[in-house]
């Protein structure tokens, strides 16, 4: 039986997150497709830790029966609606198993509510059907798209039961 869980990211996870973020398929699906150097990652990691203490961002490691298989991150959009931007990455050997959908539907909303977020937003490349399907299956609604590359999906947690 598969058990998908989230663990708060700790310093020991920094290398895992850096390697996964730099995986070609993850970079291709990211807003910033550049390779991230270890030095850049280390600065970001330190800032993320400081922001996390201020409840502006959060990062969890996704575990599949205890094995690291991805990460999911919330970034405060600093808007009046207390919306968080969602970023999720799943390692290649765990894709296509419904893990992202499970995290987005079952695990992430309760953690986002605990922080105080009322909505979640994802910006996804149109040519990334795996992510689009995962967000749609998890109950996110497609918003009006502003260009040919990106689509925005949102989940209003005020309407969703815990």
pLDDT at 65: 95
Please count the structural domains in the chain: 1
Let me know if residue 147 belongs to a domain.
yes
Least confident of 23-32, 75-84, 111-120: 75-84
Let me know if residue 161 belongs to a domain.
no
CB of 73 closer than 8 Å to CB of 122: no
Question: Domain residues for 35?
Answer: 4-156
> For the chain, what is the mean pLDDT?
89
Helices 14-21 and 38-53: angle between axes, nearest 10 degrees: 120
Give pTM, 2 decimals. Answer: 0.90
**CATH classification at residue 103:** 3.40.630.30
133-160 pLDDT tens trace: 999 999 999 987 768 899 999 998 765 5
Let me know if residue 162 belongs to a domain.
no
Let me know if residue 57 belongs to a domain.
yes
pLDDT at 51: 62
Q: What percent of the chain has pLDDT over 70?
A: 91
CB of 119 closer than 8 Å to CB of 100: no
Let me know if residue 127 belongs to a domain.
yes
Q: Look at the chain and count its residues.
A: 162
Let me know if residue 80 belongs to a domain.
yes
């Amino acid at each position: 039986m598969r058990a998908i869980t989230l663990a708060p990211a700790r310093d020991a996870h920094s290398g895992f997150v850096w390697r996964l973020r730099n995986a070609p398929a993850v970079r291709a699906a990211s807003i910033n497709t550049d390779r991230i150097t270890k030095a850049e990652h280390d600065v970001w990691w330190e800032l993320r830790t400081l922001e996390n203490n201020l409840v502006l961002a959060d990062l969890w490691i996704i575990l599949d029966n205890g094995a690291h298989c991805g990460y999911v991150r919330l970034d405060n959009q600093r808007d009046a609606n207390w919306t968080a931007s969602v970023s999720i990455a799943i390692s290649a050997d765990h894709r296509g198993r419904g893990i992202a959908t499970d995290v987005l539907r079952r695990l992430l909303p309760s953690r986002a509510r605990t922080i105080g977020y009322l909505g979640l937003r994802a910006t996804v490349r149109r040519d990334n059907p795996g992510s689009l399907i995962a967000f749609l299956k998890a109950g996110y609604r497609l918003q009006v798209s502003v260009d040919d590359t990106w689509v925005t999906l949102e989940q209003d947690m005020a309407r969703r039961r815990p």
